[in-house]
Structure 1
């Protein structure tokens, strides 16, 4: 079948690579794609916010399956409109995508269905939110209710930080996304990511990972969309994974079905592993970025088969198999990220990096300029390596990074440090 993939980042490059490898994929189109996705299919200029244009393209090109990568088109209801037009699409409906599109929606769902998460309150008035923080104490977490491209969460260690975050968000610093904020208790423990493939009634695990949200080594600096990741996450033991399925994923599916918005797609649970057990930090309604770049290189079964089974409500027929190898990805970002960055600098040495065994350089924010690859975003490359252990994958990934010539970029040098420490004993 002909497949259309929506998106342009590193996640979509990883998805394109796996979709194109499927025996079920005849032609792959990516809208809009990037120079990396172009190696696996055909990039197309298509305004994905214009749902009618997407539908018309699908009909013209005989698209049998659409895979939506990023969150914004899901929250905007692209899957609903494609489905109504008779085009099969992978991802949750607009209503179900509220699990990512609205922090308040998810917290209320957790409260209603007994899903373990941090205590919280919702606010649209800045002074009321600040009064609550003064009474409740710090540290605390301030979250914009809506989508904020990974920049809507502030872990405030002081009253001044909390109040500044509240003023920034409700004051319009994040646009409509911050019109309402969620202030929640600070959870102590280790963070991990758990993925589940869902068909509306049933869910099966789709891998584990840990990422690094802070911009600098040692987990210092502001939160970002993610500076690197590795998979599997050893801290999520089989026993803990079973508990996450039982206490978080399955009640969420039941709750969503009870609300008349069954969840189909990938459910990405950001977890805090506390002394009281796993608690939900937040949901994403799609595969993570950069987690996809370490999950999919480990998937050895057919991705398209699995996604179709979820779409068709037939996950009981799906079978996922994974490599025993570990994977680690290092994000190379433009200087200044997560703040303002300059675009247009040339990146050299990508072929030398990709020539290493078990190394894949995924493009995220790049642009083709004749025979040159130039930086065109904040997070620009995901340098991914496989290895027998996280330690092996880490060494190979940083060897690949060393072959890339890009003075205008930077990366963290400690991706995977927790896992490496565990492996060293």
Structure 2
């Protein structure tokens, strides 16, 4: 099977790593690929934003399946272009269905129509009514850019003054078009987790849960990021929570999208807030999470490729996936200053040494090769993943991988997995 993988970050490195293991793969194309994954396939000359070039190449080269990693090409309609104009199978939703991620207010509307539990909200395009709405809420206040903001368009304000500033900044252009409208939500209490399910628009194959760390610094402090680490399994995501998430959120939303004439094809990523084993929907993403995808791929025992193809071609019924009982953990190494301003082009050493450690695989999120050197080329730069018999061992191995890498210009959180470890300690008899 010929496969074209769109994207070049850590998520795509993990997908390429897994797809390349499939006996059904005959050729893997990468658009645009990256320093860490180019050895897994053929790097193409165009990037993930060049939709026409991707579609033309796929059609002209008899590509059997296009797997879209990032959200932006999906939101721009790459799935529609491939399926409807080029007759090429695509793992990823069309533009209308991708609004589950690209528009917070659309997601809320669909969730409400489907009866999925989520926070109350209001949508605003001008500051005055937004601020008036805030005064009817209680702290803390959740303000979100309505569109795609690379995981950074969320402010949780402790005071009305902070909330007012966030409203002015977002509607004033801080996030460009993504902030042309904002959504203000009720603050939901509980513990966050991520859950993933693959669907062909009707049939649904549940995957597994994970937990990530959004804040930049230890103790869940600092600004929101795209994710500074992750682990799976997440103890808060019990079998009961999984069952309720499928019945109360995933299944009704997939049915609602089909009823609207815009069936959702691909992986549906539900960000959840869980309290007393009751899940509520925080958000949907229209693709695999980053960094959660990386640890899912580390725990997945099955061949992923045929399942992606079945989903893309409407043939998912009866498909299964097998998962390792081992735990997986990931620590992000980011450039100093991220998620604010940061320097690119700083040298990184020791990645190969880290990859030789037991259970460790390093995925590249933002690197480039130049004159035989590995250089940073993004905010989140490396994803150091590890597996182990339990979370404690997986986390310890991931940090051993970190210790093997020589990159003075990077930083990382030192408390990845703290919730799971704290829960384990609380449940361990004295």
Same fold (TM over 0.5): yes
Q: Could you list the runs of 5+ residues in structure 2 that have no partner in the other structure?
A: none
The aligned runs of 1:5-154 (5 Å cut-off) are: 5-84=5-84, 85-154=86-155
In the alignment, structure 1 residue 354 sits paired with structure 2 residue 355:
yes
The aligned runs of 1:270-289 (5 Å cut-off) are: 270-275=271-276, 277-289=278-290
Kindly indicate whether the alpha-carbon contact (under 8 Å) linking 1:187 and 1:274 is maintained by their aligned counterparts in 2. Answer: no
Change in CA separation of 1:47 and 1:9 when aligned onto 2, cut-off 3 Å: closer
- Quote the Cα distance in structure 1 between the aligned partners of 2:3 and 2:311: 16
Q: CA deviation at 1:112?
A: 1.9
Secondary structure at the aligned position of 1:36 is classed as coil
C-alpha deviations, 1:167-211, integer Å up to 9, x for none? 111111100100110000001100000101111112121111000
> In the alignment, which residue of structure 2 is the partner of 1:384?
385
Q: CA deviation at 1:275?
A: 4.0
Q: CA deviation at 1:421?
A: 1.8
The aligned runs of 1:209-288 (5 Å cut-off) are: 209-275=210-276, 277-288=278-289
Q: CA deviation at 1:276?
A: 7.6
Kindly indicate whether the alpha-carbon contact (under 8 Å) linking 2:205 and 2:319 is maintained by their aligned counterparts in 1. Answer: no
- Quote the Cα distance in structure 2 between the aligned partners of 1:403 and 1:115: 45
> In the alignment, which residue of structure 1 is the partner of 2:2?
2
Q: CA deviation at 1:60?
A: 3.7
Secondary structure at the aligned position of 1:95 is classed as helix
Q: CA deviation at 1:157?
A: 1.2
> In the alignment, which residue of structure 2 is the partner of 1:187?
188
Secondary structure at the aligned position of 2:97 is classed as coil
- Quote the Cα distance in structure 2 between the aligned partners of 1:316 and 1:68: 22
C-alpha deviations, 1:209-253, integer Å up to 9, x for none? 000000000000010000000011121111110010000001101
Q: Could you list the runs of 5+ residues in structure 1 that have no partner in the other structure?
A: none
C-alpha deviations, 1:277-307, integer Å up to 9, x for none? 1100000000000001100111111101111
Secondary structure at the aligned position of 2:95 is classed as coil
- Quote the Cα distance in structure 2 between the aligned partners of 1:234 and 1:114: 26
> In the alignment, which residue of structure 2 is the partner of 1:336?
337
Q: CA deviation at 1:313?
A: 1.9
C-alpha deviations, 1:122-151, integer Å up to 9, x for none? 111111101111222321110110000111
> In the alignment, which residue of structure 1 is the partner of 2:171?
170
Q: TM-score, normalised by structure 1?
A: 0.98
- Quote the Cα distance in structure 2 between the aligned partners of 1:251 and 1:162: 33
Secondary structure at the aligned position of 2:283 is classed as strand
**Aligned alpha-carbon RMSD (Å):** 1.1
Change in CA separation of 1:404 and 1:239 when aligned onto 2, cut-off 3 Å: same
> In the alignment, which residue of structure 2 is the partner of 1:205?
206
Q: CA deviation at 1:41?
A: 1.2
- Quote the Cα distance in structure 2 between the aligned partners of 1:120 and 1:59: 43
- Quote the Cα distance in structure 2 between the aligned partners of 1:43 and 1:304: 19
- Quote the Cα distance in structure 2 between the aligned partners of 1:66 and 1:40: 16
C-alpha deviations, 1:49-103, integer Å up to 9, x for none? 3322112222343321110000000000101101121111110111100000100
Give 4+ residue runs of structure 1 displaced > 2 Å after superposition: 47-52, 59-62, 422-425
Kindly indicate whether the alpha-carbon contact (under 8 Å) linking 2:241 and 2:277 is maintained by their aligned counterparts in 1. Answer: no
- Quote the Cα distance in structure 2 between the aligned partners of 1:378 and 1:50: 22
Secondary structure at the aligned position of 1:172 is classed as coil
